[in-house]
Amino acid sequence: MYNLLKGKRGIIFGALDSNSIAWKVAESAHAEGATFVLTNAPIAMRMGEINELAEKTGSEIIPADVTKLEDIENLIEKSVEILGGKIDFVLHSIGMSVNVRKKIHYTDNNYDFTHKGFDISALSFHKVMQVLYKKDAMAEWGSIVALTYMAAQRVFPDYNDMADNKAYLESIARSFGYFFGRDHKVRVNTISQSPTATTAGNGVKGFSGFINYAEKMSPLGNATAQECADYTITLFSDLTKKVTLQNLFHDGGFSNMGVSNEIMAAFEDQE
């Protein structure tokens, strides 16, 4: 490895199991010399294997419900104390839609479910940054990254209200990123990742078929969870100090494609 994060301190949200992008980011950050705190909702921690990751990376775990400001405040305060200084990087890798889980169609959304998913998946990003900002808990030239998906810009019918959540998440990154950059020299970006076979992703209807479609559409093929982790590490490092307010597509070129020869061939075979 390259020691890109040697001496840096961080907080990683959302590592559930070894399929999680956040899990891969934690492993890569550890390999690059970082120390960090792991956090997830108490219920997610009971479902996952985060203790294994903590042991592997020498990290402490602080449970936090990101819908509650007091939990986030406790997380930030304890993280600074445990890590021995201000935070250099934060990964927001949180997303949940009850409507998707219960297979409720977008045109028939349960708005209580919509609000819950919005609070966890998007508004939580504003809450986390607001606490970091008010407590002046980020180090200068620190980096905050949230994971998103291209359904924020284009229609993917079965992505449901998560598409709305991701659109709002990306807007928060730009708006809060301005103030964080101006006042504290902190970068804020989102990574729009390829469809990835995580526990959360597999809950979307027709997901395996779409992964295959995206693979055939993308000139470089789909980006894996590990490749996303590697890209995230570069955004945490000092090599990208002037990159901020960006939604960065990490999808093998899918986002700029209209159609590929492989996809056209499949339709030509039907003639």
In a domain, 217, yes or no: no
Q: From CA 185, how far away is CA 169, in angstroms rounded?
A: 20
pLDDT of residue 47: 72
Q: Which of 149, 178, 213, 231 is catalytic?
A: 149
CA 6-10-14 angle, to 5 degrees, is 130
- The pTM of this model reads 0.96
Distance CA 252, CA 87 (A): 31
CATH number at residue 132: 3.40.50.720
Give the C-alpha separation, 75 to 52, whole Å. 20
Q: What is the pLDDT of residues 231-256, one digit of tens each?
A: 999 999 999 999 999 999 999 999 99
Say what percent of the chain tops pLDDT 70.
Answer: 96
Tell me if 263 is assigned to some domain.
no
What is the tally of structural domains in the chain? 1
Q: Is residue 179 assigned to a domain?
A: yes
Residues with Cβ within 8 Å of 62's Cβ and at least 6 positions away in sequence, in order, are 37, 38, 39, 74, 75, 78, 79, 82
Rounded Cα distance, 260 and 108, in Å: 34
168 is catalytic: no
User: Considering the chain, what is the average pLDDT of its residues?
Assistant: 95
Question: Which of 2, 133, 159, 168 is an active site residue?
Answer: 159
The dihedral sign for the CA sequence 73, 79, 85, 90: negative
d(CA 120, CA 77): 21
Residue 65 annotated as part of some ligand binding site: yes
Residue pLDDT, tens place only, 188-207: 999 999 999 876 665 666 77
Reply yes or no on whether 159 is catalytic.
yes
Query: Residues 150-176: what's their mean pLDDT?
Result: 97
- Candidates 197, 168, 193, 191; CA nearest to 254 is 193
Mean pLDDT of 141-167: 97
CA 36, 41, 45, 47 torsion: positive or negative?
Answer: negative
Q: Is 21 annotated as a binding residue?
A: yes
127 belongs to a structural domain: yes
Q: Do the annotations mark residue 11 as ligand-binding? A: no
77 token code pair: 């305060």
Range of lowest pLDDT (32-36, 40-44, 134-138, 196-200): 196-200
Length of the chain: 271
SS3 call for 258: coil
158 is in an annotated binding site: no
Question: Is 132 part of any domain?
Answer: yes
Q: Note whether residue 19 is domain-resident.
A: yes
